[in-house]
Amino acid sequence: MELTVNGIFKIQRHHYLGGEDYRVLTQMYLPIIGIDGFGLYHLLCVINEKETITFKTLLDTLNFPSLSYLNQAFSKLEAVSLIDAYYNKHKKAYFYQVKAPLSSNEFMAHPLLFSFLRSQLGEIEVNKLKVSQSISTRGYKNITRAFDQVYNVTEDNIKNVFEKMFNFKTNDKQIKVDYDNFDYIFFKLSFNSDFIDPKLFDDEEFKQNILNIAFMYKLNEEEMIEIIKKTITIDKDLKYSDLSKNARILYQKKYKTTEPRFVTQEPDAFLGSLSDDDTYRFLEKIETVTPADLLTELSGIKPAVSELKMIEDLVNNTKFPLSVINIMILWICYEKEGEIPGYNYFEKIANTWARANIKTSLDALKHINKEQKAKTSSSYQKGKKVTPLPDWYEKYQKQLSDLPKDENLTPEEIDNILSKMKSETK
């Protein structure tokens, strides 16, 4: 559901933030939810639960420029299980359950969240967090009392106790991942009952952890099966940390990279997004290809000597780096539908870019996008796209209207009128 400025909501929370919560939120959650999600979560933690609030109140308090920023902040909090969102279509109202952050140890043990944090901060910084929160227990014997050593329950309320324990475990500690590309039913049916207990696959916690790991390391069903078998065979257990470790090893071999990179689905002002990822790969290519190779790639044939000389003059005269020249070539070829105009046309674009203080390929890309957005906006009137009309079009329309109404023109005759109007305006 899309948020509206005058939309209303209420909240519910069962936890009040303490000192350790603020530390975990700042050191571990902030790098993966951004300052917008961080600010929204803290605001939700102090809003009066009895009041009905408008989204405009949040916008004004957080000073967000638009609803899209607010919607994105909500989506990130939902994704990392800091809030649950509900909507009542009859009341046209939202309801948010504000949930407690994981403890430091729980966050570090969570394969998906910890891997995301590591991709944001790097191995060295994450290891500092590990060291700061770990205390050696060497030389000590664990004498912690078990629950049933301290408490007892009657038959009447044992069901309620276990229901609460179950809800706490699944709702507050699990990050939900759907991962539609992974067929969990196929994965489940592929195991021999002698190898692993089939009942394990019906456990919701087990299922979510499998989906988390498969999503994080881009594993298909067959690869995940191999990870399970390898973990049982080598590590002699089925701990999620070992599953994640073995999955990471496979990921590194398969994709030749040390760590998965997490990005948001939608463009985000505070975190890396899919569109940023596409831009990064594009610019990486632009930085490494020569203008000659780029022209060959665009047309399928080697550029002419005159074209190469023109590009060489452009580089020498403009002092732009090759990556910016490459962006210019791509843009002009796109605008001219594959044709390579003369030097003067390139020089005109280069002068415009120089005045716009373009120095890098990213600067050039942003400038083009900004210009295109401005053109698109001016070409829309009352929600309808309007193509700018050439100078000769009005005369062409008038001449057609002056012809006898019963006269049927052939396509050739219409083309002749069109050509005449164009030539008159040149």
Give the pLDDT of residue 98: 94
Residue predicted with more confidence, 37 or 331: 37
Q: Which tens digits make up the pLDDT trace of 309-320?
A: 888 888 888 888
CATH number for the segment(s) 8-101: 1.10.10
Instruction: Quote the pLDDT of residue 126.
Output: 83
Rounded to two decimals, what is the model's pTM? 0.48
CATH 1.10.10 domain span(s) along the chain: 8-101
Question: 3-class secondary structure for the chain?
Answer: CCCCCCCEEEEEECCCCCHHHHHHHHHHHHHHHHHHHHHHHHHHCCCCCCCCEEHHHHHHHHCCCCHHHHHHHHHHHHHCCCEEEEEECCCCEEEEEECCCCCHHHHHHCHHHHHHHHHHHCHHHHHHHHHHHCCCCCCCCCCCCCHHHHCCCCCCCHHHHHHHHHHHHHHHHCCCCCCCCCCHHHHHHCCCCCCCCHHHHHCHHHHHHHHHHHHHCCCCHHHHHHHHHHHHHHHCCCCHHHHHHHHHHHHHHHHCCCCCCCCECCCCCCCCEHHHHHHHHHHHHHHHCCHHHHHHHHHCCCCCHHHHHHHHHHHHHHCCCHHHHHHHHHHHHHHCCCCCCCHHHHHHHHHHHHHCCCCCHHHHHHHHHHHHHHHHHHCEECCEECCCCCCCHHHHHHHHHHCCCCCCCCHHHHHHHHHHHHHHHC
pLDDT digits (tens, 9 = 90+) for 144-184: 777 666 655 444 333 343 333 333 334 445 677 778 888 98
- pLDDT at position 425 over 70: no
Lowest-confidence region among 35-49, 208-222, 301-315, 378-392: 378-392
